[in-house]
Amino acid sequence: MCGKVIAPFLLLPMRSLAEPLQLAMDNGARKALIPLENKRNFLEVSDEIVERVDPVFFSDPMMAAMKALGMT
């Protein structure tokens, strides 16, 4: 999951998506949970990452947990 979740369920967007997604891809990730606030930053990610890692955007921590568990 990209981004930072702090109590009580507050989401903080990431400054950059390129490095965490590159690291995730290099370690075999096929999907990445990304805060909705970072959706526009996804355009800055390299074509290789875009082709290999599917973004899954979320707007709140409960939705992220449900998506991570495959419940949505």
Q: What is the pLDDT of residue 34?
A: 87
Q: What is the pLDDT of residue 46?
A: 93
Whether residue 43 is contained in a domain is answered as yes
Whether residue 49 is contained in a domain is answered as yes
User: How confident is the model over 13-57, as pLDDT tens digits?
Assistant: 677 888 889 999 999 999 888 888 888 888 889 999 999 999 988
Q: How many domains does the chain have?
A: 1
User: How confident is the model over 1-13, as pLDDT tens digits?
Assistant: 555 555 555 666 6
Q: Please report, for residues 4, 8, 31, the alpha-carbon distance to residue 52 in angstroms, rounded to integers and kept in the order given.
A: 23, 33, 8
Return the residue matching tokens 């973004």: 55
Q: Which domain holds residue 49?
A: 1-12+29-72
Q: Strands of the chain (E only): list them.
A: 4-6, 10-12, 31-35, 54-58
Q: Are 3 and 14 in contact (CB under 8 A)?
A: yes
Q: What is the pLDDT of residue 9?
A: 56
Closest CA to 35 of 72, 5, 8, 69: 5
Whether residue 46 is contained in a domain is answered as yes
Q: What is the pLDDT of residue 72?
A: 75
Whether residue 64 is contained in a domain is answered as yes
